[in-house]
Each structure stands twice: as C-alpha cells, then as structure tokens.
C-alpha cells in the first residue's frame, strides 16, 4: 500500500469500530492530514480497538474500497489461510456475550487493560462442528440482511414524516 502522505490530495476512506455497529465507514481524509501511518484493511479481515475490546468493539471488515484504512491504534488481524474457521462464524462469535467475557479475562496491562492479537491467540476456543459454524454464519448473514432492510425502511419513514411535517410533499407523492 502506498503511504497516505505520498498522495496528499487523495481522500482516503477511513473505517472505525464500535460495539454497536461493528466496523463502519467513518470519514474521508486527505493524505496530507495524516500524522501517522494508518493500517490497510480488507474484506473478511478483523480489527478491534485494544482498549475497548472488553465491551465488544471487535468486528469483521465488510466489503470496502481497495484503499480502505483504519487507525494505527487498532489491532488488525485475519484468519490464517487454510483455517477451518470461517470468517462469518468468527464474526458471529466475537459479538457474543461469552466471547466478550473471555476477552475480559485475557486483557493485559496494569492501569489500562488492552487486548492484543497475541492475547486473542492465547484464548481457548471451543471445538465447534462445521455444520454448527456454517449454520451460525448463515443465521448472522440473514439477521444482517433483515437489519439492513429495517434501517432502509426507517430512513424512508423518516423522510416521509419530515415531508408531512414541513408540508413539502403529500403522502401520495412520496
């Protein structure tokens, strides 16, 4: 990846993470505005905020542009090639209450506890059959599709209500 400062006028897509949405598009930032090298991300990779992992700020990277990046403060990781665990299953796993509690046990640091990739690798993981992993991944995908449809429907309703309140359009025109 080319360093952001090597393209000072380019607007780079920067992604963040939280415990509500997971990985999300944050903003565009010009190359000359960066003061540290950011980390490249790709679809089905993961990243997390090492200081907020105990509340579930871990997530899978969705479809992102080729030049997508994230904060140098975040831990970026991916499953090893040939892993028996599917990215979608891991995405479902890291969002469970059980996993978040496991993270709390494996954080390190005296004052501000953090979770690094090395700590993730040290966590004991349950033996889960391929059928269950596949089923969980499919259920996660189905739930995400329903959530996306609901968000879009809510946005349409919001626009319609605003138009009705402002009197800019009749319901039949919407």
% of the chain at pLDDT higher than 70 = 95
Q: Domain 4-126 carries which CATH code?
A: 3.90.220.20
CA–CA gap between residue 58 and residue 69 (Å, rounded): 16
Q: Burial, 48: exposed, middle or buried (Cβ in 10 Å; 0-12, 13-18, 19+)?
A: buried
List the chain domain ranges. 4-126, 129-174
Q: pLDDT tens digits for 40-64?
A: 999 999 999 998 888 888 999 999 9
How many angstroms separate the CA atoms of 56 and 108, rounded? 16
Tell me what pLDDT residue 47 has.
94
Residue range 129-146: mean pLDDT, rounded? 91
Six token digits for residue 146:
């329903």
Query: What order do you get walking across the sheet with 75-77 strand by strand?
Result: 58-60, 46-48, 75-77
Q: What is the pLDDT of residue 1?
A: 60
Q: How far is CA 98 from CA 107, 146, 155, in A?
A: 15, 24, 33
Strand-pair partners of 128: none
User: Looking at residue 2, what is its pLDDT?
Assistant: 63
Mean pLDDT of 29-34: 94
Q: Is the pTM of this model over 0.85?
A: no
Q: Nearest 5°: CA angle at 171, between 165 and 172?
A: 155
């Amino acid at each position: 990846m080319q360093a952001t400062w090597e393209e000072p006028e380019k607007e780079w897509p920067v992604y963040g993470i939280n415990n509500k949405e997971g990985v999300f598009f944050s903003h565009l930032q010009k190359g000359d505005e960066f003061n540290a090298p950011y980390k490249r991300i790709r679809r089905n990779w993961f990243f997390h905020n090492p200081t907020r992992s105990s509340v579930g700020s871990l997530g899978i990277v969705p479809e992102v542009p080729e030049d997508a990046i994230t904060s140098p403060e975040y831990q970026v990781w991916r499953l090893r090639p040939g892993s028996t665990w599917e990215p979608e299953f891991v995405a479902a796993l890291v969002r469970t209450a059980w996993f978040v509690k496991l993270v709390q046990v494996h954080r390190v640091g005296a004052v501000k506890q953090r979770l690094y990739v090395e700590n993730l690798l040290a966590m004991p993981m349950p033996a889960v059959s391929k059928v269950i992993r596949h089923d969980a991944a499919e259920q996660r995908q189905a739930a995400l599709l329903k959530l996306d449809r609901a968000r879009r429907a809510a946005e349409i309703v919001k626009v319609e209500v605003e138009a009705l309140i402002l009197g800019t359009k009749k319901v039949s025109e919407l």
